[in-house]
Amino acid sequence: MMRIIRTRLPLLVAALFFMVPVVLHAQGQTTKADGSGAYRTGHYRDLFAEQGHSAKQSRAKIDAAFEQLFHGDKKTQAVYYEVGRNANGPLAYITDVANRDARTEGMSYGMMIAVQMNRKHEFDAIWNWANTYMLITDPANPSVGYFSWSMHTDGTPRSDSPAPDGEEYFVMSLYFAANRWGNGTGIYNYKAQADRILSLMRHHPVKTGIPPFRLKPDEPPFAPPTRPGFPPRNHPQTVGPMVNEPYKMILFVPGMGRGSFTDPSYHLPAFYELWARWGPVEDRAFWAEAATASRDFFQKATNPTTGLAPDYADFDGKPHGTVFNPMSANFSYDSWRTASNWSIDYSWWHKDAEENVLSDRIQKFLFGQGVNTFSDQYTLDGKPLSQRHSTGMLATTATAGLAATKGPISKAFVDALWNSPVPSGEQRYYDGMLYMMSLLHSSGNFRIWEAKQR
């Protein structure tokens, strides 16, 4: 694949717009393990610039999207809501408007967007809300130390257990915040918070309890409604680490029983490489191995013709069907993110040429379905399962251009993203978060924020 190597002038212009530190590794300070991507070179591919859009135009588009999603009309545009303050400062949540809840997925995405945009106020307010309401602190709850994946926006629980994608993005955004802004105290000691969560993800003790569980010791117990496929709520529940040690893979959930499979869209090798350098020393080798395992897993989990991955998969890559999610063996909402994940890894590290093949494959298939008309759910062999065309899926497929071969197909997706309006209305949460992050990725402004001294 051809990569754009920018001259110093546009790189410095981009740095001025986003206050980006241009980190070039001194001669002799890099190794083969660093790959040949943006981590080593400091250069980030700009798909919009390749289409003739200036840095100023990209900045205007990114700023407008952020302002609408974070500070636009509360009824039709915004997903970010400030709700007073406590002893730690302002509180704010990101909400899934259609489902009327706040999820660790969206909260951690909001934090990642905020740190990339240099918006410390919004970052801290979201993190404060997450710690105040989502963090499980009752020692009798087997998930103690994790974050409840779904909460009502008034701070009462909709779940008493976590989802690992939230913890993953919490960790990465906190490390970036530590490196960009420096550490404060308490919950704003970003590095200490990231270290705690990352260590727990691998070393959480296996704990068993009988529900109903509390999130906080002084709160009433939470009894979620019983749903098909979920373990009976009157039986012991066991929770452990968020990773499978033998396979070096992230789990769908850390609960025993449903923790025996994975979600391809949770695999973030680009992040794991950084954790292998920045995380707790005793776990660094594990995360380096996890990055390699995830790259290999992408090859196994994607269809060899369409490039589509399922929502859930076994560790050998086979689709994993479940009763509680009938679409889980197909390409559905979670799956939109998988191509973006391997493409960001390719951009940052450039360690696996097969990620180029995967991006070409999925873009070719969806291009054949119509860039502006493809469905947002498919069987893995390419049969449409919906009639909806979703901006969020378009955005992540455009981001796949970071790993795709330059040409008319990749160009068509970048153009479609550029021309798409900022999501609004009832579906603005998931579409909007993926759209916003894809703008940052595709413009070369989703950066690795390194510590000043390595």
Residue 88 confidence (pLDDT): 98
Could you say which of 160, 168, 334, 431 is catalytic? Answer: 334
Residue 400: name the closest of 357, 448, 432, 450 by CA: 357
| 106-to-265, 267, 312, 429 alpha-carbon distances in Å | 14, 17, 19, 8
Q: Please give the residue that has the higher pLDDT: either 34 or 14.
A: 34
| 454-to-147, 153, 174, 280, 291 alpha-carbon distances in Å | 30, 40, 17, 15, 21
Give the integer Cα–Cα distance in Å for 416 and 288: 35
Question: Residue 13: pLDDT band by 50, 70, 90 thresholds?
Answer: very low
pLDDT tens, residue by residue, 216-225: 999 999 987 7
- Tell me the average pLDDT across 239-264: 92
Phi, psi (deg, nearest 5) at residue 238: -120, 135
User: Is the CB of residue 79 less than 8 Å from the CB of residue 94?
Assistant: yes
Three-state SS at 141: coil
301 alpha carbon, distance to own chain's centre: 18
Could you say which of 96, 105, 122, 376 is catalytic? Answer: 105
User: Is the CB of residue 242 less than 8 Å from the CB of residue 250?
Assistant: yes
Give the integer Cα–Cα distance in Å for 345 and 295: 9
Q: Provide the whole-model pTM.
A: 0.93
**H or E stretch at 89:** strand 89-94
105 is catalytic: yes
Residue 234 confidence (pLDDT): 77
334 is catalytic: yes
What percentage of the chain reaches a pLDDT higher than 90? 87
Question: Residue 202: pLDDT band by 50, 70, 90 thresholds?
Answer: very high
Give the integer Cα–Cα distance in Å for 333 and 310: 9
**H or E stretch at 83:** strand 80-86
In the chain the domains, ranked by start, together with CATH numbers, are 1-53+261-454 (1.50.10.10), 79-220+231-258 (1.50.10.10)
Residue 26 confidence (pLDDT): 35
Read out DSSP for 213-282? Answer: B-SSTTSPPB-PPP-TTSPPTTS-EEE--SEETTTTEE-S-SBTTT-SSB-GGG--HHHHHHHHHHS-GG
**Lowest mean per-residue pLDDT among 23-32, 65-74, 140-149, 405-414:** 23-32
Give the integer Cα–Cα distance in Å for 277 and 291: 12
User: Is the CB of residue 396 less than 8 Å from the CB of residue 431?
Assistant: no
Strand spans (E) along 119-192: 150-152
